[in-house]
Amino acid sequence: MLSVHTSPLHQPGTGDAGGMNVYIVELAKQLAALGIEVEVFTRATTAALEPTVELAPGVLVRHVEAGPYEGLAKEDLPAQLCAFTHGVMRAWARHRPGHYDLVHSHYWLSGQVGWLAAERWGVPLVHAMHTMAKVKNAALAEGDTPEPAARVIGETQIVRAADRLVANTAEEAGELVHHYGADPARTAVVHPGVDLGRFRPADGRAAARARLGLPQKAFIPLFAGRIQPLKAPDILLHATRALLDADPALRERLVVPVVGGPSGTGLAKPERLQKLAARLGVTDVVRFHPPVTQDVLADWYRAASVLVMPSYSESFGLVAVEAQACGTPVVAAAVGGLPVAVRDGVSGFLVDGHRPPDYARALRRLIDDGALAARMGAAAARHASGFGWDTAAAATAEVYAEAAAERRRHLRSTHVHR
């Protein structure tokens, strides 16, 4: 596996670490449980890291030196792809021929390296986009920076080179075909999973609130994720203002946690959200928390009355499934993979567009109807139980097998024609 720009060892919610990190870690562990050994190549971001780290039995993380350890933004990394590829090739050269059976690259930067490595080693390339430039650019938040043309070109090359493309949802598969001319026959849909052992209702909302020091009787709409315009936490703040305007008494029992750190284009103005809260006059109800570990995040989900996900673009929306697995309903934008992650009207509400009053209305329904909120919470846990990583890993292993079989057939036919 290749994960150039973010390490599976990084904590999600910090810098560029997010759902993709969780995806790679959990998928790799479950593939190893199926007997598929995994090595993950990622860029070294500190000198303190060991060259190789065992993430789990059968899963090795290899740190490749490519560029300075710190201070490189994701936008600077294309210039380091040559150095990264060199590091991958050096590691490969130490093994017997045929050591690697397949390359699975994640995100377009890794796809560029994967394309070369797979060709050099004579093995199949499986690629997961995670996000796509053309899709992001078609749904930009106001004032957000468009993805560069170099990324569009890079993604187009990878789509052509890959033996198999893995999409999170049927919609994403359709976007690959529509925007990049992908071959539908070489595009497989595999829903990401959720760690159902970690994300579960456990001992309930009251205990989670007690552990986090949150008031028991509060209504708590939670935002959890990287703070950047794409994820749209500002919409939750505007919706909070709308709720308070309509019902000033709600101020006594409203707590709005924003859990996560600035990322991507959000790093340009890291204080933007705090300033917005002050401007809207909601500083007293909004609580900003730095990124937390996965176990603590599970407690935040359990403690919340509802998770709010107003994103402009989501290839899947792992956070939505994690929250539901903890028994918490979700109010989310009807974009990307979120209509698969959330069952509208059953495990939460999907909102068309990004108008704060529409989010305020959905939240008001849950405030006013405790029975509805409880019903949706129970339905959310049931819905999320179908998204285990074991299922995702088995489906991914099938994609690997198909890609390998097709590669063998192609080699045989080439040999015969010679």
Digit-coded pLDDT (tens) for 16-61: 556 788 899 999 999 999 999 999 999 988 888 899 999 999 999 9
**359/399 same-domain check:** no
CB within 8 A of 94, min separation 6: which ones? Answer: none
Mean pLDDT of 270-296: 93
Residue 180 counted as domain residue: yes
Mean pLDDT of 264-280: 83
**82/212 same-domain check:** no
Residue 158 counted as domain residue: yes
Positions at the binding site for Mg(2+): 301-302, 304, 328
pLDDT digits (tens, 9 = 90+) for 74-129: 788 888 999 999 999 999 999 998 999 999 999 999 999 999 999 999 999 999 99
* Least confident range of 2-11, 213-222, 317-326: 2-11
Backbone angles phi, psi at 391, to 5 degrees: -65, -45
Dihedral in degrees, nearest 10, Cα atoms 316, 39, 195, 109: -20
Residue 200 counted as domain residue: no
In this structure, what CATH number is given to the domain that contains residue 158?
3.40.50.2000
**For position 20, what pLDDT does the model report?**
85
**134/212 same-domain check:** no
Nearest 5°: CA angle at 81, between 120 and 261?
Answer: 130
Residue 274 counted as domain residue: yes
**Any idea which residue has 């008494």 for tokens?**
249
**For position 258, what pLDDT does the model report?**
96
**124/172 same-domain check:** yes
pLDDT digits (tens, 9 = 90+) for 357-401: 999 999 999 999 999 999 999 999 999 999 989 999 999 999 999
Domain that holds residue 162: 2-193+389-417
Per-residue DSSP letters for 350-378?
A: EESS--HHHHHHHHHHHHH-HHHHHHHHH
**55/178 same-domain check:** yes
Query: Considering its fold, how many domains does the chain have in total?
Result: 2
Residue 103 counted as domain residue: yes
**157/217 same-domain check:** no
Residue 15 counted as domain residue: yes
**397/318 same-domain check:** no
**381/398 same-domain check:** no
**For position 216, what pLDDT does the model report?**
97
Residue 66 counted as domain residue: yes
Positions at the binding site for 1D-myo-inositol 3-phosphate: 5, 16-21, 74, 107, 131, 151
**121/216 same-domain check:** no
Contact (CB, 8 A) for 112 and 157: yes
**118/76 same-domain check:** yes
**182/236 same-domain check:** no
Answer yes or no: is pLDDT of 416 > 60.
no
**108/234 same-domain check:** no
Answer yes or no: is pLDDT of 160 > 60.
yes
**For position 9, what pLDDT does the model report?**
80
Residue 199 counted as domain residue: no
Nearest to 328 by CA among 290, 287, 382: 382
Positions at the binding site: 5, 11-12, 16-21, 74, 107, 131, 151, 226, 231, 292, 301-302, 304, 314, 322, 328
The pTM of the full predicted model, rounded to 2 decimals, is 0.83
Backbone angles phi, psi at 260, to 5 degrees: 155, 170
Mean pLDDT of 243-261: 96
Positions at the binding site for UDP-N-acetyl-alpha-D-glucosamine: 11-12, 19, 226, 231, 292, 314, 322
**Any idea which residue has 């994690």 for tokens?**
322
Confidence class of residue 68 from pLDDT cuts 50, 70 and 90? confident
CB count, 10 Å around CB of 128? 27
